[in-house]
Amino acid sequence: MTAITRRTIDDVDWLELDVPGRPVNVIDGSVRSELKELIEQSASDSGVKAIVLVSRKPDNFMAGADVEEFAKLKTRAEALTLVEDGQNLINRFETIGKPIVAAIHGACLGGGLEAALACTTRIGTDHKATRFQFPEVRIGILPAAGGCQRLPRLVGLRSALEMILTGRTHSSKRAAKIRLIDDLVHPAILESVALETARKLIDGWRPKRPRFRPEMVAIDKNQFARKAVLARARTKTLEKTAGNYPAPLAAIDAIGHGLQYGIEAGLAHEAAAFSELAINDGSKNLVRLFFDGTALKKAYGPSDGYPEPRKTSNVGVVGSGFMGSAIAGVVAARAVAEARLRDISVDRLVSGLDAARSIVDSRQEKGALSKHESRYRTFLVSGGVDWAGFGRADLVIEAATEDLETKRAIIPEIESNTKAECVIASNTSTLLIRDIADAATEPHRFLGMHFFSPVEKMNLVEVVPHENTERWVISAAAGFVRSLGKTAVVVADSPGFWVNRILAPYLREAWILLESGADPLELDKEMIEFGFPVGPVTLLDEVGLDVVLESSHALGEAYGERMSPRASLSRLVGDGRLGRKSGRGLFEYRKDKKKRIDKSSMELICDQDSPPPNRTSERLVYAMLNEAAAAFAEGVVGSARDGDMGAILGFGFPPFRGGPLRYIDRIGLSEVIKTLKELSEEFGQRFEPVTNLKQMAELDTKFHQQQL
Amino acid sequence: MSHSRAKHRVAIVAGCRTPFAKSGTSLSHKSAVDLACLAVVELINRSNLDCTNVSQMFFGQVVASPLAPNLAREVSLLPQFPRTIPAITVNAACASANQAIVLGHDQIVQGQADVVVAGGAESLSDIPILHSKRLSQMLVKMSRSKTALEKAKLISSFQPRDVLPITPTISEPSTGETMGEAAERMAKVNGISREDQDRFALRSHRLAAAAMRNGKFATDIAPLLEQGAQGPVVTDNGIRPDTSLEGLARLEPVFDKKHGTVTAGTSSPLTDGAGAVLLMSEEKAISLGYEPLAFVKSYSFVAIDPGDQSLMGPAFAIPQALERAGVAWSEIGLVEMHEAFAAQVLSNINAIESKQWAQDNLGAAERIGEVDWENLNPMGGSIALGHPFGATGARMTLMLATEMKRRDVQFGLLTTCAQGGMGFAMILERS
């Protein structure tokens, strides 16, 4: 089977891409060699005067290189061969001496975009499927088939940096604005315009690009300005990544090098950087996450064999507080489904509806929705003080206050106001689903769903079936989460589920360190350097100390001393110091937004008798790793993949480390056990390695079957 | 959908309306489309409607926005509905929503539709402002002119008065008479005293206030649940429970300052609001498990010379609707009559009760009947509740059907006058 068809019509060659057996045009080794052969044929055919590159896939131009291919790379030499192969092919576009038109409809990504950049001109369709992106840095590499060279030369340094460093998608309209494409046309006339353009190119016409755009003269061609812009990009990137992500820095260097020493030197630089990055752990982990994320999007249960989810087009939400209203908002904004809020208080209902609608509006403000779409989507949100509309719901999410009796009283009410095939879910983080479920008359259609706050930003939902939840109910819930653009991880009905359970010992350890006089800013800094988006002390204040206290009561009861609440935590909560929301906690919250330690809180916490803090980073991380191993052994998550994804999406475990379980695998079980034993001896029993780790070490197994 | 030739009986299954708010007050920031959408979204939810069942939509609107001339289509494009529901906006002045409901009714009767959403909306806070015809012509010429000299000539002919805005008034284009002037004339011709008019307005406010107090409107009203600048809007704001005969008597006549009797207090106020009812064929309602509020028995549209007593339409439409229904006046247990002006209501009642009038105008031997005041607008009417032109018909249909069910009345009548000498009457029946 061939991936590319060459059709010669008069003096124009049409190279039509349609990679067999794939929904999109992925460019692997065999496609590359096919393309190379065809380009050479067109080059040597004297009857051919121009080439048009076009896709036959619906809504996809080229999805770029095959990620599987470089996931397999083991050595620098292998990586270098791969990238040079790609570079040679794409460079050839410019040297065959015949104009090439890229006629782009659908996604044009990564290597596909690099190919398009080497064409003489690019025509894009004004369709929403047509978008341009360099996703490379998101998987720990850089555009290395000339992307770092040709993009800045075409669109200018600043636009190129923005596109390559963020990996953000550009619509075709935006692409036209920055002159990434030369023409923007309706899909219906793409090919006729492409042909017309090819003819003009044959006659010597070239797309008009202003030679001296002021920005390009001022920055790109001015050594000093250019260096300043690159240095600034570097500083900003370092700030954002705490130095944990080498890929964007490598891209900045490759761009700078190329602009300084010319395109050839730049290409060599790109290739060298790629071959370094592609084989290191960080990139391997990110690639693995990319695959896991894709797989999880198709998984509707903790294991295979769950039915295809039923469509959820109408969602009832009970309780229009902070969580309930945010859930209603994302239902309308993301899933384009109806959201009916119920609350017994009209005041709360009104503010809840306003909050939900503002989530829809914020999507418009970000440019993700047109004004018209946004206006209509706000009409998907409605509410009342009674059960009106609940008979239409496919899913009802109970988001009342976190109180067992309240929730138990509401579930039967929901049951009697919904149709029999409506799924009922409780949103809870601390209660056990089975305790709520036994108040249900029809427990088979009931389960837990743990949304994380803020709902519009957090991309994880824990789906928590209890013993009698039917399979179709689980997949319906997981499918619904997917329709919100979020990831569902099915977890067992045990205290703290997965995310909060493994987070708890980490936060508790941070507290113990504060008690022994550790500097909060220092603790935060260490964990940010480890790769967390925020440090543990800031996280405590953000979550709210009262929430932490309440959950540690429940967790302490279930898991004993290693989770139990610290006395000084109760003291702070008792004093009304609840964190950011109360205006004071571990930090002070003043108008100037400068981060200041709340010294009086520290005095309340500090225990003069405890030993001075040391091995702080290890203590924090290993408390979490040990708990992750224990929870995994108990079957809280169905697979190591789910566990790692949950930790990464749930509280920002550093993605480049692959997740807590992958991280243990990487360090090595015996090494982890050794460290835990040392910590246990020095700081207490809570670090004693869990049985599971020891057993696994004896059997020489790992959490992940598939290694990097 | 059934395409059989048999005629289908049409059920009024449910309905919803926004609160009615005096123009320029709590709903002034909403367009008529917004108001209609609010009513319909709530209607869907309260009636547990499966939106894929809806086959057509009809809405009434009198003062349409040039930006959304087909309001009904905007409503049927709500994301709750499939995008394939044809929707038509109609204008029959104050009977617009009645016309919309009747169109839906006819489609169902003929088997062309089995579920219809019909109603009306009006925002008199958001009306198009017109400018002079001279300015329009000048702008058109300007766009066609080719040379700078031509343009300069046109500009030099411009006069400041050309941009003075013209607010559309509710008057008869054929006679230039406003509705208020028509009511004033009717009061004089029919000898309706100022005191009777004030008394009627007082009655409207008192009954509406009592009904509101007793929660009778709550089931019909789709509240606007937004904080905004105004706060949530949950109830009608035109009802004045504390109004008194003395207070009403103190008001100056508006339309004839010297000899007139019609005041702002005895007229329906300019109002913003929307309402919609859910219509189904009886078979469809049964198969979907609905218990209808009432069924449509008959209706009648009439028109008389607007140069005569232009708001006398009801007195002409009622006997026709009764005859078509085969129902006697005495069998009607509840009457919902649009209160444009107290003078218009009382003129029509005089006619209904007058043998002479029936002989002169209908060629009938007997009068239409005697009005039972207990059963006439028992929850007040447009004078107290307000009158969003396009929506009033939906409000009346919904209120009549709901109250018929509450009282378990066999036959109910609604009737309204409309600009252009038009009149409308509809008979509803229970089971």
Inter-chain residue contact A349 with B50, CB threshold 8 Å: no
Question: What is the predicted pLDDT for the residue at A365?
Answer: 87
* Per-residue DSSP letter, B69: S
- Give B 3-42 residues with CB within 8 A of chain A: 37, 41-42
Question: What's the gap in Å between the CA of B200 and the closest CA on chain A?
Answer: 35
- Chain A residues lying within 8 Å of B232, measured CB to CB: 346, 350
- Min Cα distance A372 → chain B (Å) is 11
DSSP for A333-398 reads HTS--EEEEE-S-HHHHHHHHHHHHHHHHHHHHTTSS-HHHHHHHHTTEEEESS-TTGGG-SEEEE
For residue A354, the chain B residues in CB contact (below 8 A) are 226-227
Instruction: Work out the minimum CA distance from B221 to partner chain A, whole angstroms.
Output: 12
Listed by number, the residues of chain B in 214-243 with a beta carbon closer than 8 Å to a beta carbon of chain A are 225-227, 232, 234
Are B80 and A379 in contact (CB < 8 Å)? yes
- Report the alpha-carbon distance of residue A619 to residue A508 in Å, rounded: 10
Record the tokens describing residue A565, joined without a space: 């609440």
Of A346, A383, A391, the CB nearest to B48: A391
Q: Return the residue matching tokens 């896939």.
A: A57
The residue with tokens 């008359």 is A441
ipTM for this model: 0.90
Are A625 and A664 within 8 A, CB to CB? yes
Asked if B225 and A353 touch (Cβ cutoff 8 Å), the reply is yes
Which pLDDT value is given to residue B130? Answer: 63
Q: DSSP letter for B269, please.
A: P
3-class secondary-structure state, position B307: coil
Q: Residues of B with CB below 8 A from A351's CB? A: 227
Annotate A85-126 with three-state secondary structure.
HHHHHHHHHHHCCCCEEEEECCEEEHHHHHHHHCCCEEEEEC
Q: Which chain A residue has its CA at the smallest distance from B78's CA?
A: A376
281-340 in chain A: CB under 8 A from chain B: 336, 338, 340
Determine the residue among B80, B288, B290 to mutate to test chain A binding: the one whose Cβ has the most chain A Cβ atoms within 10 Å. B80
Evaluate if residue B373 carries a pLDDT over 90: yes
Mutate to test the interface with B, among A376, A421, A422 (most CBs of B within 10 A): A376
Q: Do A385 and A378 form a contact (C-beta atoms < 8 A)?
A: no
Q: Is the CB of A379 inside 8 Å of chain B's CB atoms? A: yes
Number of alpha carbons in the 13 Å side-chain half-sphere of residue B100:
39
- Residue A227, Cβ density class (10 Å: 0-12 exposed, 13-18 middle, ≥19 buried): middle
Q: Does the CB of B77 have a partner CB in chain A at under 8 Å?
A: yes
Nearest to A384 by CA among A352, A428, A360, A357: A352
Residue A107 CA to residue B141 CA, distance in Å, equals 47
Helix (H) or strand (E) holding A553: helix A545-559
Best CA proximity match to B279, nearest among B292, B265, B268: B292
Distance (Å, rounded) from C-alpha B395 to C-alpha B236? 12
Rounded Cα gap, residues A364 and A341, in angstroms:
22
Q: Could B48 and A349 be called an inter-chain contact, meaning their C-beta atoms sit closer than 8 Å?
A: no
Chain A residues touching residue B48 (CB < 8 angstroms): 388-389, 391-392
Residue-level pLDDT at B165: 59
Amino acid at B407: R
Q: Which two tokens stand for residue A272?
A: 């060298």
Interior CA angle at B425 toward B424 and B429, to 5°? 150
Cβ of residue B54 closer than 8 Å to a chain A Cβ: no
Nearest to A455 by CA among A537, A307, A339, A569: A339
C-alpha distances (whole Å) from B118 to each of A442, B52, B177 are 38, 16, 31
Q: Do A379 and B79 touch (CB under 8 A)?
A: yes
Cβ contact, residue pair B77, A376, below 8 Å: yes
CB distance A240 to A252 below 8 Å: no
Tell the residue number behind the tokens 């929503």, with chain if given. Answer: B97
Q: Which of B233, B35, B221 is nearest to A350 (CA)?
A: B233
Q: pTM of the full predicted structure?
A: 0.92
Please answer yes or no on whether A346 and B234 come within 8 Å at the CB atom.
yes
Phi first, then psi: what are they for B115, rounded to 5°? Answer: -135, 125
Preferred mutation among A340, A379, A386, A421 to probe B, highest tally of B CBs within 10 A: A379
Q: Is A389 in contact with B46 (Cβ distance < 8 A)?
A: yes
Write the pLDDT tens digit of every residue in B1-55: 445 556 899 999 999 999 999 999 999 999 999 999 999 999 999 999 999 999 9
Catalytic option among A415, A462, A509, A618: A462
Minimal Cβ distance to B79: which of A353, A376, A388: A376
Which string of DSSP letters, residue by residue, matches A601-667?
HHHHH--TTSPPP-SHHHHHHHHHHHHHHHHHHTTSBSSHHHHHHHHHHHH---GGGT-HHHHHHHH
Q: Is the peptide bond before A307 cis (omega within 30 degrees of 0)?
A: no
Q: Beta-carbon neighbour count of residue B60 at 10 Å?
A: 34
Mutate to test the interface with A, among B41, B83, B225 (most CBs of A within 10 A): B225
A558 touching B (Cβ < 8 Å): no
* Out of B45, B49, B225, closest to residue A349 by CB: B225
Closest residue in B to A419 (Cα) is B48
- Taking residue A322's Cβ as centre, other Cβ atoms within 10 Å add up to 15
**Residue B370 tokens, joined:** 């005697």
Q: Does B64 touch chain A (CB under 8 A)?
A: no
Mean pLDDT for all residues in chain B: 93
Residues of chain A neighbouring B234 (CB-CB closer than 8 A): 346
Residue A101's DSSP bridge partners are A52, A121
A658: left (phi over 0), alpha (psi -120 to 50) or beta: left
Tokens for A445, please give them.
């259609």
CA A686/CA B419 separation, integer angstroms = 85
Q: How far is CA A637 from CA A5, A308, A439, A462, in A?
A: 47, 21, 26, 10
3-class secondary structure, B367: coil
Out of B8, B37, B94, B105, the active site residue is B94
* A300 CB neighbour count, 10 Å cutoff: 25
Asked if A362 is an interface residue toward chain B (Cβ–Cβ < 8 A), one would say: no
Give the rounded distance of the alpha carbon of A683 from its chain centre. 36
Collect all residues of chain B within an 8 Å Cβ-Cβ radius of residue A379.
37, 41, 78-80
Q: Which of A354, A376, A383 sits opposite B78 (nearest CB)?
A: A376
For residue B301, pLDDT beyond 60: yes
Does the pLDDT at position B131 exceed 80?
A: no
Which residue in chain A is spatially nearest to B46 when comparing CA positions?
A388
SS3 (DSSP) at A411 = helix
| Angstrom distance (rounded) from CA A105 to CA A57 | 9
State how far Cα A36 lies from the chain centre. 35
Q: Which of A438, A700, A1, B185 is nearest to A426 (CA)?
A: A438
Bridge partners of A65?
A27
B94 catalytic? Reply is yes
Identify whether the C-beta of residue A540 lies closer than 8 Å to the C-beta of residue A511.
Answer: yes
**8 Å CB contact between A353 and A383:** yes
Which tokens in the block code for residue A329? 């908002």
CA distance B311 to B351: 12
Identify the segments of chain A with pLDDT beneath 50.
Answer: none
Distance from CA of A448 to the nearest CA of B (A): 25
Q: What is the pLDDT of residues B186-214, one digit of tens each?
A: 999 999 999 999 999 999 999 999 999 99
| Chain A neighbors of B233, CB-CB under 8 A | none
* A535, A626 Cβ separation under 8 angstroms: no
Distance from CA of A540 to the nearest CA of B (A): 32
B288 touches chain A (CB under 8 A): no
Please give the Cα distance from A552 to A558 (Å, whole number). Answer: 10
Q: Which residues of B touch A353 (CB under 8 A)?
A: 225-226
Residue A156 in contact with residue A220, Cβ under 8 Å?
A: yes
A344 at B interface, C-beta within 8 A? no
User: CATH: 3.40.47.10, 3.90.1300.10, 3.40.50.1820, 1.10.150.120. Which one for B10-126+269-429?
Assistant: 3.40.47.10
CA distance B332 to B318: 11
* Contact assessment for residue A85 and residue A48, using Cβ atoms and an 8 Å cutoff: no
Tokens linked to B15: 């309905």
Residue entry with tokens 């555009």: A143
Q: Strands B87-90, B21-22: parallel, antiparallel or unpaired by DSSP?
A: unpaired
pLDDT of residue A464: 98
Alpha carbons A339 and A474: distance in angstroms, whole number: 20
Size of interface A-B (CB pairs under 8 A): 50
Contact A389 B227 (CB under 8 A): no
The closest alpha carbon to A555, from A547, A546, A564, belongs to A564
C-alpha distances out from residue A441 to A342, A413, A436, B178, Å: 21, 10, 11, 64
* A51 DSSP 8-state letter: E
Nearest to A180 by CA among A119, A255, A92: A119
Q: Check if B68 contacts A (Cβ < 8 Å).
A: no
pLDDT, tens digit (0-9, with 9 covering 90-100), for B71-86: 999 999 999 999 999 9
pLDDT tens for B150-189 read: 878 877 777 777 666 555 556 677 777 888 999 999 999 9
C-alpha–C-alpha distance, residues A152 and A266, integer Å: 12
Here the tokens at position B258 are 């010297």
Distances in Å between the Cα of A172 and the Cα atoms of A107, A158, A180, B322 are 10, 18, 9, 64
Inter-chain contact B226–A338, Cβ cutoff 8 Å? no
Only one residue has tokens 């959403």, namely B117
Q: How far is CA B224 from CA A315, A336, B230, in A?
A: 20, 21, 10
Question: What are the chain B neighbours of A388 within 8 Å (beta carbons)?
Answer: 42, 45-46, 48
B159-218 residues touching A, CB cutoff 8 A: none
List b or e across A240-250, with b for residues whose CB sees 16 or more CB atoms inside 10 angstroms. Answer: ebbebbbbbbb
Q: Please name the member of A379, A383, A389 whose beta carbon is closest to the beta carbon of B225.
A: A383
